[in-house]
Amino acid sequence: MNTFLPRPVGRLIDAFARLPGIGPKTASRLTYYLLKAPEGESLELAEALQAMRRGTARCPVCLNISELGEDLCPICRDPGRNPGLICVVEAPLDVVALERTQAYHGRYHVLDGALSPVDGIGPEDLRIEELVVRVAGGGVQEIILATNPTLEGEATALFLRRRLEGYTLRVTRLARGLPSGGDLEYADANTLSQALEGRREV
């Protein structure tokens, strides 16, 4: 924290700077913007943050972010979705990215990360066994592995393919329309749509 700043200002700058994609300069700009903004704007932001923390939970089926108190998330509740088609993603933001394409009409499974031995993330740290339980329950015809096209994402997809051996279902991977080393959340809707359409067996 900068010692020449009032402590509340420095604390907020430090808090913003810890967010992904926000450096010290942007953190300072956001803080000073809120200092100049009407008090109601700052309070609305604070209340929205509190409501987000207190009012969200994980869907017990797909593990995506859901509203607290709801039995299932809106996607798992939707009768128009194909329950036999499950798209496996690393994070909730990937669900948002794929939904923007309006090309996918199945359901999801959120892993909460990817395998990364360097970072100490193994299979037990991801929601892999929950996926296996869903598959073992029957009714699943296809699993789409939509992990990111990174070294970690590819390793996770390979592990999942091996873990699902023995079950009668189709396992596909998103097509290579996605840039290697990129994240789903940054891909445009057209690229994601083409990747979904061109998925392949793995």
pLDDT in tens, 122-157: 999 999 999 999 999 999 999 999 999 888 999 999
Give the C-alpha separation, 30 to 13, whole Å: 8
Q: What is the pTM of this model?
A: 0.79
- How many domains does the chain divide into? 2
Note down the domain range covering 134: 79-201
Supply 201's token pair.
């067996």
Is the domain of 102 the same as that of 196? yes
170 within domain boundaries: yes
Are 27 and 14 in contact by the 8 Å Cβ rule? The answer is yes
Is the domain of 23 the same as that of 100? no
60 within domain boundaries: no
Residue 31's domain is classified under what CATH number?
1.10.8.420
| Model confidence at 47: pLDDT above 80 | yes
Are 88 and 111 in contact by the 8 Å Cβ rule? The answer is yes
59 within domain boundaries: no
| Model confidence at 60: pLDDT above 70 | yes
Is the domain of 112 the same as that of 33? no
Contacts 24+ apart (CB under 8 A), 36-42: none
14 within domain boundaries: yes
Is the domain of 116 the same as that of 181? yes
* Residue 30 neighbours by CB under 8 Å, 6+ apart: 16, 22
Are 192 and 93 in contact by the 8 Å Cβ rule? The answer is no
Give the C-alpha separation, 52 to 46, whole Å: 10
What is the per-residue pLDDT across 71-125, written as a single tens digit (0 to 9) for each?
Answer: 899 999 999 999 999 999 999 999 999 999 999 999 999 999 999 999 999 999 9
Structure confidence at residue 67 (pLDDT): 93
65 within domain boundaries: no
Residue 194's domain is classified under what CATH number?
3.40.1360.10
| Model confidence at 173: pLDDT above 60 | yes
Backbone phi, then psi, for 2, in 5-degree steps?
-75, 125
Among 15, 38, 53, residue at a domain's last position: 53
73 within domain boundaries: no
The amino acid at residue 49 is: L
Look at residues 53, 46, 121, 135 and name the one whose alpha carbon lies nearest to residue 90. 121
86 within domain boundaries: yes
Looking at the DSSP bridge assignments, the partners of residue 85 are: 142
13 within domain boundaries: yes
Is the domain of 133 the same as that of 181? yes
